[in-house]
A and B are shown apart, each in its own frame.
Chain A
Amino acid sequence: MSADHLPEHPDFLWRNPEPKSSYDAVIVGGGGHGLATAYFLAKNHGMTNIAVLEKGWLAGGNMARNTTIIRSNYLWDESAAIYEHALKLWEVLPEELEYDFLFSQRGVMNLAHTLGDVRESMRRVGANKLNGVDAEWLDPQQVKELCPILNVGDNIRYPVMGATYQPRAGIAKHDHVAWAFARKCDEMGVDIIQNCEVTGFLKDGNRVVGVKTNRGTINTEKVGLCAAGHSSVLAEMAGFRLPIQSHPLQALVSELHEPVHPTVVMSNHVHVYVSQAHKGELVMGAGVDSYNGYGQRGSFHVIEEQMAAAVELFPIFARAHVLRTWGGIVDTTMDASPIVGTTPVENMFVNCGWGTGGFKGTPAAGLTFAHTIATGAPHKLNEPFSLERFETGALIDEHGAAAVAH
Chain B
Amino acid sequence: MLLISCPNCGPRDETEFHYGGQAHVAYPEDPYALNDREWAEYLFYRDNTKGAYAERWVHSTGCRQWFNMLRDTVSYEIQAVYPMGTPAPGGSAPGTTANTAQAPEGASK
Contact = CB atoms under 8 A, between A and B. Distances in A.
Interface of A: 230, 232-233, 241-246, 290-295, 299-301, 334, 390-392
Contacts of A245: 21, 46, 48
A230 B49 CA distance: 10
27 contacts: A230-B50, A233-B48, A233-B50, A241-B45, A242-B48, A243-B46, A245-B48, A246-B50, A246-B73, A290-B19, A291-B2, A291-B19, A291-B55, A291-B73, A292-B55, A292-B73, A293-B76, A295-B75, A299-B14, A301-B1, A301-B14, A334-B43, A334-B44, A390-B40, A390-B44, A391-B36, A391-B37
B76 A244 contact: no
Given A244-B48, A391-B37, 6 more contacts: A243-B40, A245-B21, A245-B48, A246-B73, A292-B48, A334-B44
B108 to A, nearest CB: 15
Given A290-B18, A390-B40, A391-B40, A295 B73 contact: yes
Contacts of A334: 43-44
Interface size bucket, B side? Answer: 20 to 34
A292 B76 contact: no
A197 to B, nearest CB: 13
A290 B46 CA distance: 15
Contact of B50 (A241, A291, A294, A390): A294
Interface string B1-37: 1100000000001110011010000000000000011
**Is chain B's binding surface mostly helix, strand, loop or mixed?**
mixed
A293 B51 CA distance: 9
B73 A293 contact: yes
B100 to A, nearest CB: 13
B53 interface: yes
Interface of B: 1-2, 13-15, 18-19, 21, 36-37, 39-41, 43-46, 48-50, 53, 55, 71, 73-76
A392 B45 contact: no
Given A291-B71, A292-B73, A293-B73, A299 B2 contact: yes
Contacts of B50: 230, 232-233, 246, 294
A28 to B, nearest CB: 15
Contacts of A295: 73-76
A202 B59 CA distance: 45
B44 A294 contact: no
B48 A300 contact: no
Contacts of A290: 18-19
A178 to B, nearest CB: 24
A294 B50 CA distance: 7
A390 B39 CA distance: 9
Nearest to B35: A391
Nearest to A244: B48
Contact of A392 (B13, B36, B55, B73): B36
Given A290-B18, A299-B14, A246 B1 contact: no
A243 B43 CA distance: 9
A9 B19 CA distance: 48
Contact of A232 (B2, B36, B48): B48
Nearest to A335: B44
A12 to B, nearest CB: 32
B44 to A, nearest CB: 4
B73 A294 contact: yes
